[in-house]
Chain A
Amino acid sequence: MQVDEKLDCKGLSCPMPIIKLSKTIKKMKSGEVLEMQGTDPGSKTDVPAWCNKTGNEFLEQKEADGAFIFYIKKG
């Protein structure tokens, strides 16, 4: 998968990951893919819900080395 932008939210807790995600997506172009990393277990439900609400596409989710990795395509 081609990743256009990366966002590191490791160690951050609610609400910072979503605030940062929202800001990063805003400056991206439609169709670009964001890779977001985080450690907050709440993100597992928050990020897909946020994508759904804001019209962005939630591509996939991985777990590696104690962190969650999300791929989001800007809608």
Chain B
Amino acid sequence: MFKKGVLKELFDSLFSKTWPMWVGGILLAILSTLLFVIKYPWGASGGYVNIGQNLFQSLGITNLGTGTPINMHTVALLNIFIIIGALISALFSREFGIRVAPAGELVKGLVGGALMGIGATVGIGCTTGGFFSGVAALSGGALFLSLGFLIGTILALRYLLWEMEALPNISMGKSCTILSGNKPKTGWQRWLGWILIAVVLYIVNSYTSKGGSTMKVLGWHILIALILGIILQRSRYCIVRAFREPFMTGEATAPVAIIISVLVALMGFTVIKYFGVGNAGEISVRAIELKSVYANFWLRALIGGIIFGIGMTLAGG
């Protein structure tokens, strides 16, 4: 039998301290490799395109292209369940809270988010699919996208420094925090976390118990997304930070973590491609890969990268 309290101790230590970012990076790289085996490497912006298409479609705007329903789209499901996974992790760590920034910051978030949307569409990819998976897949476009991120980050940081001198009111003003986990009496957060875990597992089961490999693949994506979300929240793995850190504090913790994880993913991806595992063996997938290497190479990737880079630093998070 277990010593009493051992499991609780383990749980507490997993969800009280932040995990080193490189540990998160290695785990994420392994999961991205697993996603590649099942279907495609990890990406994010494609899912938002799908969610956007569905949103516009429901508003009666159909000339933007009709998308797969959200509950049948692998990347859209990944995005949604990563957020739920991170929410569960924040509840387990008793870090959950609703923190509303001053009005000026909210506007910056909106503008930054819009720039990220435009940048990801122009450059075909974001920090996840375009950079993290792109570099690991040895896409030439990814190199120019990364260069664009770097330029965009420097520009946006220069803007933020200027803003603080010239328009200090933007980042000041009324802010509020509700339901914060730093307050006493936060035992409910863990219970809510367990309930959400049960709900997600029920959804996974409802996918995988249906016949057909498509449904099973979708179910696996939900499960992997849940784990990705927990790892992201615990390790605070942030690619934006890796681009920003050298210019802000001169630290290299985040860049080193990202380099380690890209290297792990690179090894995984190379094995998959060399042996033609799963989808990677299909001609159509090889064609997509060629496209992602050449179609946005290099001007679109560079311009998209700069726009996305400005947006991601402005939006913060």
Assess the A10–B177 pair: CB atoms within 8 A: yes
Assess the B175–A18 pair: CB atoms within 8 A: no
How close is B314's CB to chain A, nearest CB, in angstroms? Answer: 10
- For A45, the chain B residues whose CB sits under 8 A away are 18, 236
In the complex the two chains form, what is the Cα distance from A49 to B102 in whole Å?
26
Asked if B313 is at the interface of the complex by the 8 Å CB criterion, the answer is: yes
Closest B residue, CB atoms, query A40: B99
Assess the A13–B317 pair: CB atoms within 8 A: yes
Closest A residue, CB atoms, query B176: A11
A10 and B175 contact, Cβ closer than 8 Å, known pairs A39-B97, A63-B182 = yes
Asked if A54 is at the interface of the complex by the 8 Å CB criterion, the answer is: yes
Assess the A12–B105 pair: CB atoms within 8 A: yes
Assess the A49–B317 pair: CB atoms within 8 A: no
Report whether over half of chain A's contact residues are helix, strand or loop; otherwise say mixed: mixed
The number of chain A residues with a CB under 8 A from chain B is 29
In the complex the two chains form, what is the Cα distance from A64 to B293 in whole Å?
51
A19 and B248 contact, Cβ closer than 8 Å, known pairs A14-B317, A39-B177 = yes
Interface centre among B160, B171, B238 (most CB of A within 10 A): B171
A11 and B160 contact, Cβ closer than 8 Å, known pairs A18-B249, A49-B253, A63-B182 = no
Instruction: Out of A10, A11, A20, A54, name the residue touching B164 (CB < 8 Å).
Output: A20
Asked if B183 is at the interface of the complex by the 8 Å CB criterion, the answer is: yes
Asked if B101 is at the interface of the complex by the 8 Å CB criterion, the answer is: yes
Instruction: Out of A15, A39, A40, name the residue touching B160 (CB < 8 Å).
Output: A15
In the complex the two chains form, what is the Cα distance from A39 to B179 in whole Å?
12
| Residues of B in contact with A (beta carbons under 8 Å apart) | 18, 95, 97, 99-102, 105, 157, 160-161, 164, 171-172, 175-177, 180, 182-183, 236, 238, 241, 244, 248-251, 253, 313, 316-317
| Residues of A in contact with B (beta carbons under 8 Å apart) | 8, 10-16, 18-20, 22-23, 39-42, 44-45, 49-50, 53-54, 63-68
Q: A15-B241, A67-B182 are in contact. List 20 more A-B contacts (CB 8 A).
A: A10-B177, A11-B99, A11-B100, A11-B102, A11-B176, A11-B177, A13-B105, A15-B248, A15-B313, A19-B157, A19-B161, A19-B164, A22-B248, A39-B97, A40-B99, A41-B95, A45-B18, A50-B249, A66-B183, A68-B182
Can you show 29 pairs from A to B with CB atoms below 8 A apart? A11-B101, A11-B102, A11-B175, A12-B102, A13-B316, A13-B317, A14-B238, A14-B317, A15-B157, A15-B160, A15-B241, A15-B313, A16-B105, A18-B248, A19-B161, A20-B171, A39-B97, A39-B175, A40-B99, A42-B236, A44-B18, A49-B249, A49-B251, A53-B249, A53-B250, A64-B182, A65-B183, A66-B180, A67-B180
Q: 7 tightest A-B contacts by CB? A: A11-B175, A66-B180, A11-B101, A66-B177, A63-B182, A39-B99, A13-B316
